[in-house]
Amino acid sequence: MTPQTKIRFTETDVNAIPFSAKRVRWHDNQMPGLVLDVTSKAKVFRVYKKLSGRRVPVSVTLGSFPALSVEAARKLARKAMADMADGVNPNDSKRQFRAAAVTLQDVFQAYLEQRDLKPATLRGYHANMKLYIADWHNKRLSDLSEDMIAKRHLELTKRSKAQADYCMRMLRALFNFAKAEYKDSNGYSLFPNNPVQVLSAKRSWNNVARKQTRLRPSQLKPFLQAITEIRQQASTYRQDSTVAMCDYIEFMTYTGLRKSETMTLAWPDVYMADGFFMVKDTKNGDDVELPITVPLLAILKRRKDYKINHYVFGVDSPKGHIVEPKKTLERIRQQADVSIGLHDLRRTYCSIAENTGVGHYTLKRLLNHKTGRNDVTGGYTILTAEELHEPAERIAQRIMQYAGLVEQKKDTDIAGFKNLVSGFTKEQKLALLAELMG
């Protein structure tokens, strides 16, 4: 500290201190610990003093001169120093004061800014905020109690069990975010408790079971026939968007892909000559190479004829691709007399794949399911589109067999073989086994 930066603060002397390109710290002779930081644009009063138990001095901002007078700065400094003498960091008090004013809407906006959410998740979160907890937007986060959470969850449950759980899971994420985001100088959270945990304590979660709906083998024929007939009719009348939607639904049937992954499939990611396509921006964040099977090749060739932009399932709309083919799907459902949703096609594909004897890790790759960190074997199992082609083709053939599009092969599986040798004696079975192994 140089002598010229230590003076007795008065209105006249502080006003006379020149602004500086580099920060200069002036110290008050009358009150040790009260300082004035001078820069090219401001003169700011601060308390700069060690807190008991801490080696590094704490800097507490009081305000800017001349809006804050010298006398007022000394009064604020006395209070700050008294708190520090009691072991209280005044900066923590400020943080707690600001945190006390944080609203649910504030946390929601901060959460969105710091999280890279998928469009579907983003739409779901905005819907929750708008439809189910709109009256809580301006409530302070600290005022949302366990009783309020439990009561709102019960109200929403009467309307939809799944939606009630989804809304509360979002709130749980926001509280966890606030717990990590708002902390004092010692790293302790200003929102240590998550009131949504009351639902676990009371066992109030609805835990809605997964849907089990899928197309039965006998339903595949009328379903795919309906797609073909509606597409042909739409093609006759040049209803190109309906053709695209029929192709989209059929593509999902033969791949089991998720809705968003299929609708945003782009032509630059389709390599027809090499027999594979790339699915990007997936739910689990991993890009995946998948083989082009016989029915997929027919769909892609047709889409080439209808190409209007860089999306495979492109339509003339603001987004440029299919968003939700509700009307077309409803026509297909009525004509085929089936009750099915788009995600049910994923369950249908998975069930048929399991029935054809496709391996566990092969099926996970075809469905682009994430391999858990604890699954060491899965982490070492790397399957390319070329290696996936045979099992994918086998699944596609089985779907076409069920739909009557190709001839169904006779039973040659292990069950049929067991039935064949069921009348053999033990000696005959051993002899057969020895012959097969020889």
Evaluate if residue 52 carries a pLDDT over 80. Answer: no
* φ/ψ bin of 23: left (φ > 0), alpha (ψ from -120 to 50), beta (otherwise): beta
383 burial (CB, 10 Å; 0-12 / 13-18 / 19+) is middle
> Among residues 295, 218, 208, 294, which one has the least CA distance to residue 250?
295
Domains 3-88 and 104-201 agree in fold:
no
Q: What is the pLDDT of residues 341-361, one digit of tens each?
A: 999 999 999 999 988 988 888
Phi, psi of 276 (to 5 degrees): -150, 165
Evaluate if residue 381 carries a pLDDT over 90. Answer: no
Q: What is the pLDDT of residues 384-422, one digit of tens each?
A: 888 899 999 999 999 999 999 987 665 555 555 555 555
Site of tokens 């699954």: 375
CATH 1.20.120 matches 104-201: no
Q: How confident is the model at residue 376 (pLDDT cuts 50, 70, 90)?
A: very low
Q: What is the pLDDT of residues 234-269, one digit of tens each?
A: 999 999 999 999 999 999 999 999 998 999 999 999
Helix intervals (H) in 70-181: 70-85, 90-100, 104-114, 119-131, 146-159, 161-181
Which pLDDT does position 377 carry in this prediction?
Answer: 47
Q: How confident is the model at residue 379 (pLDDT cuts 50, 70, 90)?
A: very low
Name the CATH superfamily housing domain 240-402.
Answer: Intergrase catalytic core (1.10.443.10)
Which pLDDT does position 119 carry in this prediction?
Answer: 83
> Among residues 383, 380, 202, 195, which one has the least CA distance to residue 289?
383
Question: CA distances (Å), 160 to each of 69, 165, 198, in order?
Answer: 59, 9, 19
Which pLDDT does position 79 carry in this prediction?
Answer: 85
Pull the structure tokens for residue 303. 């889409």
Q: What is the pLDDT of residues 64-85, one digit of tens each?
A: 999 999 999 999 888 888 877 7
Name the CATH superfamily housing domain 3-88.
Answer: Integrase, DNA-binding domain (3.30.160.390)
Q: What is the mean pLDDT of residues 127-154?
A: 94
Evaluate if residue 284 carries a pLDDT over 70. Answer: no
Q: How confident is the model at residue 380 (pLDDT cuts 50, 70, 90)?
A: very low
Please tell me the distance from the alpha carbon of residue 388 to that of residue 398, in angstroms, as a whole number: 16
Helix (H) or strand (E) holding 197: none
**DSSP-derived 3-state class of residue 424:** coil
Percentage of the chain lying above the pLDDT 90 cut: 60
> Among residues 119, 134, 207, 125, which one has the least CA distance to residue 172?
125
Q: What is the mean pLDDT of residues 200-218?
A: 89
What mean pLDDT is reported for the chain?
86
Evaluate if residue 278 carries a pLDDT over 60. Answer: yes
| C-alpha radius of gyration, the chain, whole number | 34
Q: Per-domain residue ranges for the chain?
A: 3-88, 104-201, 240-402
Site of tokens 């200003």: 190
Q: What is the pLDDT of residues 292-337, one digit of tens each?
A: 999 999 999 999 999 999 999 999 999 999 998 999 999 999 999 9
Evaluate if residue 186 carries a pLDDT over 90. Answer: no
Task: Return the bridge partners of 289, or none.
Answer: 278
Evaluate if residue 2 carries a pLDDT over 60. Answer: no
